[in-house]
Structure 1
Amino acid sequence: MAVLLIELCLGLMVMLQIVSAQRDDLSCLLAFKASVGDPEGHLLTWTNTTSSPRSICTWYGVTCYGNNAPPVYFIKLSGSRLNGSFPQGLKGCNALTRLDLSDNSFTGPIPSKLCSDLPNLVDLDLSRNNIQGSIPPNLAECKFMNDILLNNNQLSGPIPEQIGYLNRLQRFDVSSNRLEGLIPSTFVDRQFENRSGFDASSFQNNTSLCGRPLKNKCAKVGERKGAGAGVIVGGAVGSAIAVLVVGAIIFCYIVRRTNRKSATMLRDESRWASRIKAPKTVIISMFEKPLVKIRLSDLMDATNGFSKDNIVSSGRSGVVYRGDFPDGSVMAIKRLQGSVHTDRQFRDEMDTLGDLHHRNLVPLLGYCVVGQERLLVYKHMSNGSLKYRLHDAFEKEPLDWKTRLKIAIGASRGFAWLHHSCNPRIIHRNISSNCILLDEEFEPRITDFGLARLMNPVDTHISTAVNGDFGDVGYVAPEYVRTLVATMRGDVYSFGVVLLELVTTQKPVDVVVDRDFKGTLVEWVGMLASSGCIANALDSSLRGRGADDEMLQVLKIAWSCVNATARERPSMYEVTGLLRAVGQRYSFSDDYDECPELLETERRENKLIVSVT
């Protein structure tokens, strides 16, 4: 009875939040419209005469989370010929994660309170406008920001170094502006999975901008003063030289202090290691006893003191470092962030996770608790993430269809085991192409399993889908926005998006197709399916190579996974069975003892799903 009462209360709270979000979004969009010039009338549909708040999801340039219901998460008004100062009223759209106002004629400065108004902002595109003023340092407060595109404007002043500390920042472009000064080292020295720092194209065509990665060096103080000193004659020459000497000394002092400060900030990610007061002889708790005990000092040596140069990736759950050990072995050491467990709770949870063994899970080898720090030791996966292989390294090393199908089958098998065979059962909650790693044989290995709370029958998990807890919004099941409850069917939806990535090579929210299309990968495939052209979604580089029918079958399986109605999605066991049937002609290793046979009813349902047109 108590559980039922709690669920009723939570349901009422969710309904009130949805009604409030619809009202706020409507006010936000109307205020936006009133503050801009719209000479071509693109915003004529933005009116307050609609019969239902849901209708705002059909407005030009507006995308909602799912089922055409608020909240609004994406405003895309690129190339709409809008003008005026930066739009007003955005504060009401507090669920907004993506804002694209590129290719318009907006003027004036970027609001300094943009991130406090839109705290969940992930992508900001203001490129190709006439925006003036400086870049607000407060953009660093948008802690979930992935992309900041400010190129081809009239921005001036220096680039704020604070923005370079954003952990998730992947794209940053301020080219073709009027910026000046030294490019902060926070942009140059940061490490990505496949590159070091932002390249010169992000900063080019700013005549007064200097330093790496640009080729033009910053002018020295003596060079800027030289012309003035040349016109001083007689006794004034000695005074000028004296002034220059004193100025140079002061300049060097300031530069040294500035460099020291910048270097200190850059070392912040590794400085935590030096603050550990526990003895470096602390033993790492390993689940399989090694021949030689591993100590904290060994991890420090293997990661060069947890140097930023050893960072492999970073995300919501923490930062991952590559560790190279003297015996030639390589491990991945994750510094866990945001853990609220006591030491005992943490150790108990790690012991539970350490007992989980499956061929498609990244093995958790051990852990260490040192003061407030919690370190996890994993086996290193040499081929990186599926996201990297599909979207970053694709042109250099494209994945063939057989490898993609192998990844799909193996990953589904791992998730099915977590959902149905694992004790306790585990909902992953953050499935994406970034949590599927690839070993040396391109066997998929799931990471970050169990780092969210273990499955609980009364688990409400009241964190929003837009605050970065669930990665990119393109993976989040539409019902989560209404229920705020993580479920297995929600995991199935997220995995369906991964399958769509595998067969289309499109990103979940950045679909590169017709310029007029706006929306997610799921919406794009849905549009093609409704017009009877779903096969057009297949990656053109894979077509005509003898596997078109298999790709189409996987596409249909993926489409059943992203069904808007959660109860109509297949279970992860069913998905695995369907994918195995598609891959029967390949000689994939199939140790499937850990998964029970599917029920006959499930087999019948599987056939129905495969035959969907």
Structure 2
Amino acid sequence: MELWNRVLSLGAAGFLWALLICCVIDCLETDINCLKTIKASVQDPLNYLNYSWNFDNSTEGFICRFTGVECWHPDENRVLNLKFSDMGLKGQFPRGIEQCKSLTGLDLSNNEFSGPIPDNISNITQFATSLDLSSNSFSGQIPVSLSKCGYLNSLRLDHNQLSGQIPPELSLLGRLKSFSVASNLLTGPVPTFGPNASVTADDYANNPGLCGGPLSRCTAKKSSSTKIIVGAATGSATLTAIGVVIGMFFYLRRVSVKKKDDDPEGNKWAKSLKGSKGLKVSMFEKSVSKMKLSDLMKATNNFSKNSIIGSGRTGTTYKAVLEDNTLLMVKRLQDSQHSEKEVMSEIATLGRVKHRNLVPLLGFCMAKKERLLVYKYMPNGILHDHLHSLDDPNKAMEWTLRLKIGIGAARGLAWLHHNCNPRIIHRNISSKCILLDADFEPQISDFGLARLMNPIDTHLSTFVNGEFGDLGYVAPEYARTLMATPKGDVYSFGVVLLELVTGERPTQVTKAPESFKGNLVEWITELSNNSQLHDAIDRFLVGKGIDGEVFKVLKVACSCVLPAPKERPTMFEVYQLLRAIGERYNFSAENELMMPIDSGDSDCLEELIVAREARDQNG
């Protein structure tokens, strides 16, 4: 019977794989049609497309050599970005772009496109992280549907002929970091964007009547006020009544706006829990005092905006301060299609996962449709902020601390891959999910939470993850297989090591020449090919007498981000290499990580985990 069940499981996995292949093939054909439609719909007086876009070739990846086309992989007809800047193209907005289903970036800047921006722009660029329509002749109003492009990090509409008001709904773009509508014909108040956005008065310059935000305050025009009063004045009693009504309107509006500002999601979900305040928080740790949902709500000020300390694809994290001043973290998970029984089972499993380099799950509470996880608080925040958010460059991390964090994080991830039962693939390793305790001991967060998300959400947010705004952590093979593997985690961890050694962000390489448009891994690869890897080392680490150690860690990082998964080391091997480099600092004890449970090579480990996940997805 067991053998038969295994055969059925393999058959189901095979069916899933075949279905995925069919889906990918269909998407690739659609991308070719996408480019054909674009070429047919635009005028190309400079012949950028006419000379380069030849569809007679039928080899895999042939469109990746087209001018202005970037693919997910050079050997696959799957469009990642379209960059048509400065090509002299003319015509209406090329609606055929909608057929490029995997598109994450569109740049039409510095051309001669005209006419309106399509009302259904959110359907055309629904997964875009970057949209640049600047320096054209687009006219009409800015479509409200742009507010549904939830993955946007950058939106440029400047230097066009757009008119009317900026839709206030654009403030819903919570991941937006840069925005510009300068040099248009826009009027009215500007939107209020979230804390991630860096929008200045220059981004609104040269418009006839914008106000609010970084601009001057919005005030009612006297002429309009006079017309309203004259039209309404039928007697002093009427005027008094109107004054009362107007006063009440603005009072209620101010109260409403204040409440909305206090809560990033309108506080509807938190308010809906009022009837469940008496629910107990189930605790895995006996050392933590018993709590009720009401205690968590009070500790987070009813989950107010000011209590948010992190937000990502798995949910929003709040800082909770209990009455005895105990600090905790409370994560509100994203919605999913999983049943309550499935969620309870997964959370119970995660509650049993204990390791010094994993953020401990202390408890949970399920109220109505909400799922709240309670974690130990990490007072030194996230690694990302220590590496990339320095106000004072002189406060850069010392090498010993960077090495300690690298070794500890490798130890935690290796334990998840090789010793944890069940084994766990993280799927979202980055410098933002490595938290630091009071002693700067690294602890990995969000492990195991990917299994609580909807599969389509997991895939899409892996690629167009606004939390990071880039594809810098994603292993290249994921674009072809959509299957998470341990070697994918190794790749992501390799990028974190590169951050530790170089001080650079995954896709913003400040030390690279302006002509370089690649990400951190591509920059390192280029330096390696030219025997210039030493140029990658963070300037704060140079000349400190530790060049040998730094370079050894850099070489480990390079092995982690090799293009072929089989050429990368396992996380156990990564940990052992880093541990040997930092041996003189006594960061690790001899028995902190046992040999992997599996006998055989690392590929068998990958196949076991992938097969189990395929089996689980097929029931």
What are the Cα deviations for residues 478-527 of structure 1, in whole angstroms up to 9, with x where unaligned? Answer: 22222222111111112122222333333333445334333333333333
8 Å Cα contact 2:32-2:77 kept in structure 1? no
1:503-542 paired onto structure 2 within 5 Å:
503-512=501-510, 513-540=512-539, 542=541
Aligned residue for 2:414, secondary structure, equals: helix
Of 9, 12, 33, 1:6 maps to 12
Hey, what does 1:611 align to over in structure 2? Answer: none
SS of 2:279's equivalent in the other structure is coil
Distance in 1 separating the partners of 2:130 and 2:314 = 20
User: 1:482 aligned to 2:445?
Assistant: no
In 2, the alpha carbon distance for the partners of 1:7 and 1:102 equals 45
- 1:307 CA drift (Å): 1.0
1:296 corresponds to which residue?
A: 293
Deviation at 1:61, TM superposition (A): 2.9
1:193-233: CA deviation from partner (whole Å, max 9, x where unpaired): xx9x855555455442222333x11122446546x899x9x
8 Å Cα contact 1:80-1:104 kept in structure 2: yes
> Counterpart of 1:551?
550
Query: CA shift at 1:28, angstroms?
Result: 1.5
* Match status 1:408 vs 2:414: no
Residues 126/436 of structure 1: CA separation in 2 closer, same or farther (3 Å cut)? farther
CA distance in 1, matches of 2:280, 2:579: 43
Aligned residue identity for 1:329? T
**Cα distance change on mapping 1:102 and 1:244 into 2, 3 Å:** farther
Partner of 2:428: 430
Against the structure 1 CA distance between its residues 42 and 248, is the aligned structure 2 distance closer, same or farther, given a 3 Å change threshold?
Answer: farther
1:52 pairs with 52, 55, 59, which one?
59
**Superimposed CA distance per residue, residues 524-561 of structure 1 (whole angstroms, 9 cap, x where no aligned partner):** 33333334434433344544443444333323222221
State the secondary structure of the residue aligned to 1:494.
helix
1:367 match: 364
Distance 1:15 1:341, change over 3 A: closer
Aligned residue in 1 for 2:460: 466
In the alignment, the residues of structure 2 paired with residue 42 and residue 453 of structure 1 have an alpha-carbon distance, to the nearest angstrom, of 45
- What is the CA deviation profile of residues 21-71 of structure 1, one whole-angstrom value per residue up to 9, with x for unaligned ones? 222222222332343444554433222132414022233332222354232
Q: Which whole-Å CA distance do the structure 1 matches of 2:397 and 2:88 have between them?
A: 40
Question: Which secondary structure does the structure 1 equivalent of 2:13 belong to?
Answer: helix
CA separation of 1:504 and 1:287: change in aligned 2, threshold 3 A: same
**Counterpart residue number, 1:150:** 157
Pairing of 1:219-298 with structure 2 (within 5 A)? 219-222=219-222, 224-225=224-225, 255=250, 266=261, 267=263, 268-290=265-287, 292-298=289-295
1:255-306 CA distances to partner (integer Å, 9 max, x unpaired)?
Answer: 5566566556554442312212544232222222246422222111111111
Give how far 1:246 is off. 8.1
What SS does the aligned partner of 1:369 have?
strand
**Secondary structure at the residue paired with 2:401?**
helix
Aligned partners of 1:264 and 1:460: how far apart in 2?
Answer: 31
- 8 Å Cα contact 2:160/2:184 also seen in 1: yes
**3-state SS of 2:495 partner:** helix
**Contact persistence 1:120–1:467 (CA under 8 A):** no
* AA aligned opposite 2:96: G
1:537 and 1:304, CA in 2 relative to 1: closer, same or farther beyond 3 A? same
**C-alpha contact (below 8 Å) 2:260/2:267 kept by paired residues:** no
- Write the deviation string for residues 298-339 of structure 1: whole angstroms up to 9, x where unpaired: 111111111122122222211111112232222111111224
State the SS of the aligned residue for 2:291. Answer: coil
**Deviation, structure 1 residue 595:** 0.6
Give, as a single letter, the amino acid of the residue that structure 1 aligns with 2:297. Answer: M
Give the secondary structure class of the aligned counterpart of 2:61.
helix
Match of 1:20 in 2: 26
Q: Please identify, of 248-257 and 27-36, the stretch whose mean Cα deviation from structure 2 is larger.
A: 248-257
Counterpart Cα distance in 2 of 1:237 and 1:577: 81
448, 451, 455: which one aligns with 1:450: 448
Cα pair 1:122 1:145 within 8 Å, conserved: yes
The equivalent residue for 1:69 is: 76
Q: Which residue of 1 aligns with 2:35?
A: 29
1 CA distance for matches of 2:445 and 2:55? 47
CA distance in 2, matches of 1:525, 1:356: 35
**1:94 corresponding residue in structure 2:** 101
2:60, 2:75 within 8 Å by CA — same for their partners in 1? no
* 1:170 alignment partner in structure 2: 177
Aligned counterpart, 2:218: 218
How many Å separate the matches in 2 of 1:479 and 1:509?
A: 18
Please tell me the root mean square deviation across aligned C-alpha atoms, in Å.
Answer: 3.6
Q: 1:329 aligns with which of 287, 312, 326?
A: 326
Question: How far apart, CA to CA, are the structure 2 residues paired with 1:38 and 1:251?
Answer: 56
Hey, what's the Cα distance between the residues in 2 that align with 1:108 and 1:251? 40
| Amino acid of the structure 2 residue aligned with 1:24 | T
User: CA contact under 8 A between 2:383 and 2:436: conserved in structure 1?
Assistant: yes
Q: 1:63 to 1:157 in 2, by over 3 A?
A: same
Task: Find the aligned partners of 2:501 and 2:43 in 1 and give their Cα distance.
Answer: 41
Return the alpha-carbon distance in structure 1 between the equivalents of residues 560 and 417 of structure 2: 15
Separation in 1, partners of 2:208, 2:397:
41
1:106-121 to 2 correspondence within 5 Å? 106-121=113-128
Q: 1:305 to 1:290 in 2, by over 3 A?
A: same
Which amino acid letter does the alignment assign opposite residue 22 of structure 1?
L
What is the percentage of aligned positions where both structures have the same residue?
43
Residue in 2 that maps onto 1:346: 343
User: SS state of the match for residue 478, structure 1?
Assistant: coil
Aligned pairs, how many?
585
The one-letter code matched in structure 1 to 2:569 is P
Unaligned 5+ runs, structure 1 = 604-613
Structure 2 unaligned segments of length 5 or more: list them: 1-6, 602-619
SS of the aligned residue for 1:567 comes to helix
Q: Contact between 2:433 and 2:445, CA under 8 Å: does it hold in 1?
A: yes
1:382-397 alignment runs, 5 A limit: 382-393=379-390, 397=395
